[in-house]
Amino acid sequence: MSLIIVHSAAEGTLVWGTSRGDGSAEILKTQQWRWGRDLGAWYLPRTRDQRPNRARIERTAQVLREAGFTVELDIDDRTRSVAAVEADRIVRQQQRTNHLQEQADRAAVAADGAWIAADVAAGKLPPMGEPIKIGHHSEQRHRRAAERAQAALTSALDAHHQAEEAQCRAETATHTTGARYNPTTVANRIDTLEADARALQRHIDGQTHTHHRHPGTGQAIGDTAAPATGDRREHLTDQLAQINDQLAYWRQIRADQIATGDATHHDSSTINPGDLVEVSRRWYRVIRANPKTVSVATNTGRHTTPYSHITNHQPNPDGLRQQGRDRMLMEPHRTSHLQAYQDASRLDAMREEAIASIRATQDYETVRESRAQARRSGVRAMVSTRADQLATLVQAHGYTDPRQAVEQTRALSVRDAAAATGLSKTTIRRRRNAADPFDVGGLTDQDRA
């Protein structure tokens, strides 16, 4: 029997001329060929738009000839443009999506029919959950009806699960093309193709790989690969040309995505330390802008991500250094928390400005002495932490009635009151909870005087 093995970029590697029972199936299976029911022929997987695997083709042809078959080869090395390949891929993916959706629709109809059958079987049972009457003439009929109802319910559940799985596969297939053209995926694909192109160029031109250097002389010690020659050089050159064609296509796709706003284009000139960047729908604070990546702060430390993975960018608000927020800077922030984070940053700046003004007008020792005097007299100097103001509210000599000064401090949090007065948070809580704010343990009569 005469067989022909053909290869083309559009169809892949196929075997034509086989028939059922001629003995070719067993041979082709041992050589990792598969039967294509839609094609009506045997095929090698993953050979469409790839260079022909001549070693496997020759080995398969030799085994078939030894079994008594006449084998001819028809190999076409020509490749298609990347645009044609992608257009064909999109068409095939749409066909697959339609096929899976039809399967899901049929499975849904079958599930509905199974549920109807289960309802009918359940309706044949005696009403109100009547138990089986042992020894009664209806016992066997009742048992058979219960068994049929149970079997119908099991079949309905199985059909329902199959319909759900089929619908899930159909929905997943609808996102395949979109996932392939996702901006982050396209950028990663470009990086991979560029690395492959550099590797092929090194094999073509030859390369020297340094394993280590001599500890005394510092001379490099390694392997040197000579430039490729002959058929191998031709094969590598063809591969490099194919990869360069793919690079040109995907770079154009990337440029179109940037032009339409679907993708961002950032580098070290647009990202600065202190900025906020969004990566995988989370916001991070930039620590350092590297030539190809950006270092951000996460809840586990420092993380490095490529610029192509940045989906949004917020410059450092007002150019502030954001002092006092080290803990917050180490945590990831969702998009909804960005405004609150910026408000807290402005609050920190206002607090630092107020503290600096106080220190500029009063000596540090004077401040310490005034705080000690405030602790002894029970009148505490408080600082408001509201976002719209930050100033000194209470001075030791500012009120004729000390209780009025104490009431002013209740607008402050315990933490802020402790930071302003130097008292412990426990002492502040005790004074606030006391019936008389000045009747607190730990203060002598001399302190109250």
pLDDT at res. 426: 81
Within-domain flag for 440: no
Decide the pairing of beta strands 34-36 and 41-43: antiparallel
Pairs from 330-334 (Cβ < 8 Å, separation ≥ 24): 330/297, 330/298, 330/299, 330/301, 331/298, 331/299, 332/282, 332/283, 332/284, 332/298, 332/299, 333/276, 333/282, 333/283, 333/284, 334/281, 334/282, 334/283
Is 340 within a domain? no
Q: What is the pLDDT of residue 415?
A: 75
CATH of the domain at 305: 2.30.30.60
Same domain, 7 and 23: yes
For 268-376, strand residue ranges (E) read 276-279, 282-289, 293-298, 301-306, 310-314
Q: Is residue 120 part of a domain?
A: yes
Number of structural domains found in the chain: 5
Q: Are residues 62 and 133 in the same domain?
A: no
Q: Are residues 35 and 89 in the same domain?
A: no
192/173 same-domain check: no
- pLDDT of residue 445 exceeding 60, the answer is no
What is the average per-residue pLDDT within 233-262?
Answer: 94
Q: Are residues 189 and 149 in the same domain?
A: no
The whole domain housing 190 covers 183-208+225-260
Cα separation, 33 vs 44, in Å, equals: 5
Say which range, 57-66, 380-389, 409-418, 437-446, has the weakest mean pLDDT. 380-389
pLDDT at 395: 44
Say how far apart CA 365 and CA 388 lie, in whole Å: 29
Residue 370 lies in a domain: yes
Q: How many CB atoms lie within 10 A of CB 18?
A: 21
Q: Judge whether 386 lies within some domain.
A: yes
pTM (global) more than 0.75: no
In this prediction, residue 322 carries a pLDDT of 46
Do 69 and 141 fall within a single domain? Answer: no
pLDDT, greater one: 299 or 258: 258
| Same domain, yes or no: 41 and 95 | no
* Residue pLDDT, tens place only, 395-443: 443 444 444 444 555 666 777 766 665 667 787 777 777 644 444 344 4
Is 108 within a domain? yes
Confidence of residue 226 (pLDDT cuts 50, 70, 90): confident
Domain co-membership, 311 together with 389:
no
The answer to whether 220 and 210 are in contact (CB under 8 A) is yes
The average confidence (pLDDT) of the chain is 81
Contacts for 367 with CB less than 8 Å, ≥ 6 apart? 358, 359
Which of 303, 334, 365 is the last residue before a domain boundary?
Answer: 334
CA–CA gap between residue 239 and residue 251 (Å, rounded): 18
* 86 pLDDT above the threshold of 70: yes
Q: What are phi and psi of 69, to 5 degrees?
A: -90, 150
- Are 360 and 375 in the same domain? yes
- The answer to the question of residue 339 being in a domain is no
Is 347's pLDDT higher than 90? no
What pLDDT score does 316 carry?
A: 81
pLDDT exceeds 80 at position 343: no
pLDDT at 237 over 90: yes
Question: For the segment 172-195, what is each residue's pLDDT rounded down to a tens digit?
Answer: 999 999 999 999 999 999 999 999
